[in-house]
Structure 1
């Protein structure tokens, strides 16, 4: 075991925070809100104040995980959303990149130790609900944790009681008041983009789901599917952070049964998901999501 591996998560978080705070002016050293920007959603950081504003690369921060995915820049951006000192995490690290959950959720632990009170999590997701269209937003009000139910859980292992309890309840994971504020902000902004509430299902990835898997997930009650967010939510609640989570529907998941070979020639590629499609849909929705998040945070 290396010296770093022998340190507790809270010890590593404190070392990382000491490094970060030395780079921040006094007003930004105690941010209250953190925003995690999903695939292609780096636009959210553009809503932060220009002055003061500090950007720090993931690679420069002790113990901070490194992202390898296109559309995830890999930096923390500190500034103000309105009058609220905040930090944007531009890009995230996913379980499928080969890291442990302790590593992929380390930023949330760091946010907890630095004094964050509210975590806003965004992601790009596939729409399972047939009423959802590409470009719609879904505010999470519940989730299904497929890896967690199968034994790959972010709280697996010894519990650090300095963060939270051994058995963390999740029936209140998605803050009701924050969801009310988001819909009030959407009404104030008169956004034309559809906003739903629903259930997000977390799968490990990196492959997109088969048709049969997609039908199963829909039958289970999921409205959107993705490869992130839920581990961060669980660790945030374990760290007593309030949580607001928003999915951007970037593709409509194919749930039709696979055509039989006896049917003759068919186009199996029709509707197939791809990462370029995800990034483009996120780009188009970026301005609306940026305005919505900014207005919601300003109301805190």
Structure 2
């Protein structure tokens, strides 16, 4: 039987068998999985030094490998807080890298088979809402609609029903815990803010045009990115609770591109025109840098939320 002949259920079980045969005692039944987005791999530093185990994606059967800077490509098992067994996915794969949508979401099925009942997803996102600033954290509760659906094709009955509802995609109790954790761990004088908002998933890898950004904002989106929603769909299909965070790493440009026939631009030098067009343009290094500067607050918030949920 070839790899392509195996169902997602069989492939997930092969990956789980590989991991369970190697995991040290105390780490074989993680309760929570955390997916670390662009520039947020530092969440792995919140895991205790012992017991701890790491596995490169390349060593795990059927596991997809990331190709983007800021995504290390390893699973880290350990304890969060005092006693929460967890697995962290340090780096994710994206649909735009050429992976099928099944490959992108495959790790979620592995987590389900490992016994995980809660998944926390993080990402770096562009801010569409003018009230959001770079460095703000958004915990999201509505899925966007874009790309190829991860449940397309024959239903994997072993995981869930054919038509799973998504009206309650993001767990309400977990969202309540986020706000309580925020009050406990973020300094009163901090300029960083926490929002609840709508995340729009787009295929990538290009950043959105100004017209696309305006369209998404008109549709009600607060932030936009190239991940997370497919993973959320599969997690809910599997019956796993979901919490998701977006770190705003750049503000999308919503103003229209200057028209070539506007008199105000006719006598401007090429350098001046270039500066106008460069305003607000996103770049991957900018995304990673914003992630680095806000990483500690994000890490502290995620860990405190999980401590409140699992250790209270």
TM-score by shorter chain over 0.5: yes
Say whether residues 1:134 and 2:134 are aligned partners. yes
Report deviation, 1:262.
Answer: 2.4
- Kindly indicate whether the alpha-carbon contact (under 8 Å) linking 2:30 and 2:86 is maintained by their aligned counterparts in 1: yes
Q: Distance in 2 between matches of 1:126 and 1:72?
A: 18
SS in 2 for 1:299: helix
Residue 258 (structure 1) aligns with? 257
Residue 230 (structure 2) aligns with? 231
Say whether residues 1:296 and 2:295 are aligned partners. no
Residue 122 (structure 1) aligns with? 122
- Kindly indicate whether the alpha-carbon contact (under 8 Å) linking 2:186 and 2:297 is maintained by their aligned counterparts in 1: no
User: 1:12-161, aligned counterparts within 5 Å?
Assistant: 12-82=11-81, 83-147=83-147, 152-161=148-157
- In structure 2, runs of 5+ residues without a counterpart are none
- Kindly indicate whether the alpha-carbon contact (under 8 Å) linking 2:35 and 2:89 is maintained by their aligned counterparts in 1: yes
Q: Distance in 1 between matches of 2:119 and 2:88?
A: 10
- In structure 1, runs of 5+ residues without a counterpart are none
User: 1:200-215, aligned counterparts within 5 Å?
Assistant: 200-215=199-214
Say whether residues 1:162 and 2:172 are aligned partners. no
Q: Distance in 1 between matches of 2:39 and 2:127?
A: 17
Q: Distance in 2 between matches of 1:32 and 1:128?
A: 34
SS in 2 for 1:27: coil
SS in 1 for 2:253: coil
Report deviation, 1:190.
Answer: 3.0
What TM-score do you get using the length of structure 2 for normalisation? 0.93
What TM-score do you get using the length of structure 1 for normalisation? 0.97
Say whether residues 1:184 and 2:180 are aligned partners. yes
SS in 2 for 1:146: coil
SS in 2 for 1:31: coil
Q: Distance in 1 between matches of 2:245 and 2:46?
A: 17
Q: Distance in 2 between matches of 1:190 and 1:250?
A: 19
SS in 2 for 1:140: strand
Q: Distance in 1 between matches of 2:18 and 2:124?
A: 31
Q: Which has the larger radius of gyration?
A: 2
Residue 284 (structure 1) aligns with? 293
Q: Distance in 1 between matches of 2:144 and 2:305?
A: 25
- Kindly indicate whether the alpha-carbon contact (under 8 Å) linking 2:105 and 2:231 is maintained by their aligned counterparts in 1: yes
SS in 2 for 1:78: strand
Q: CA RMSD in A?
A: 0.9
Q: Distance in 2 between matches of 1:20 and 1:160?
A: 22
SS in 2 for 1:23: coil
Moved over 4 A (4+): none
Say whether residues 1:5 and 2:14 are aligned partners. no
Report deviation, 1:194.
Answer: 0.3
Paired residue total = 295
SS in 1 for 2:261: helix
